[in-house]
C-alpha cells in the first residue's frame, strides 16, 4: 500500500507583507522546507495581522482538508500579534506538546506564543515570522507530523 501524500498549506500573517512593503521571506522558506521534506504545498496565502483575520482564513483553509497548515507571523508580543488568539478561535482540540516542542527549538523560541491544534483532519501550527524562528520551530515537530496526520485521518498505526 502506498504512503499517503503529505500536503501542507502556509498562511503568512503580516501587515507589511499584505501591504506589499515587506517580502514574505518566512512563508517562502517554509514552503521550501516543506517541499524538501516531501510535502506538497497546495496553498500559500497572505493576510493582515489580527485574530479575526487569522480565524477567518484558517476556517476556510481547513474546510475538507486533511493535512498540515502552518501559520507564520503574529506570535510575538507586538500589539498586532494575535495569531494564537485567532487560531484558538478555530481549533477544536489543542496539541500543547507541539507548541512546547517548538518553543524549545531555540532560546528565542521561548518568546513565541504560538499554539498548535486540530480542526477536522487539519493540523494547525503557529510559528514565528522570522525565517530562523519559523524554520527552527517547524523543524522541531516535522518528524511527528505524518503520524499525527495519519491519526487524524482515522489511521491506527500503533
**β strands within the chain, DSSP E:** 6-13, 39-47, 67-72, 93-94, 116-119, 122-127
pLDDT at 157 over 70: no
pLDDT at 151 over 80: yes
The answer to whether the Cα torsion of 45, 108, 132, 80 is positive or negative is: positive
Tens of pLDDT, residues 16-73? 999 999 999 999 999 999 999 999 999 999 999 999 999 999 999 999 999 999 999 9
- Domains of the chain (ranges; CATH) run 14-152 (3.40.980.10)
Amino acid at each position: 500500500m502506498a504512503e499517503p501524500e503529505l500536503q501542507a498549506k502556509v498562511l503568512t500573517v503580516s501587515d507589511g507583507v499584505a501591504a506589499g512593503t515587506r517580502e514574505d521571506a518566512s512563508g517562502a522558506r517554509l514552503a521550501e522546507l516543506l517541499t524538501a521534506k516531501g510535502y506538497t504545498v497546495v496553498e500559500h496565502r497572505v493576510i493582515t495581522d489580527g485574530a479575526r483575520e487569522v480565524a477567518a482564513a484558517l476556517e476556510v483553509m481547513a474546510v475538507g482538508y486533511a493535512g498540515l497548515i502552518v501559520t507564520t507571523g503574529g506570535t510575538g508580543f507586538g500589539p498586532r500579534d494575535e495569531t494564537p488568539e485567532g487560531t484558538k478561535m478555530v481549533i477544536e482540540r489543542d496539541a500543547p506538546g507541539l507548541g512546547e516542542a517548538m518553543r524549545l527549538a531555540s532560546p528565542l523560541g521561548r518568546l513565541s506564543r504560538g499554539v498548535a491544534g486540530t480542526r477536522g483532519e487539519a493540523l494547525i501550527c503557529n510559528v514565528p515570522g522570522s525565517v530562523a524562528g519559523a524554520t527552527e520551530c517547524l523543524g522541531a515537530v516535522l518528524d511527528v507530523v505524518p503520524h499525527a496526520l495519519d491519526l487524524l485521518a482515522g489511521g491506527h498505526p500503533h
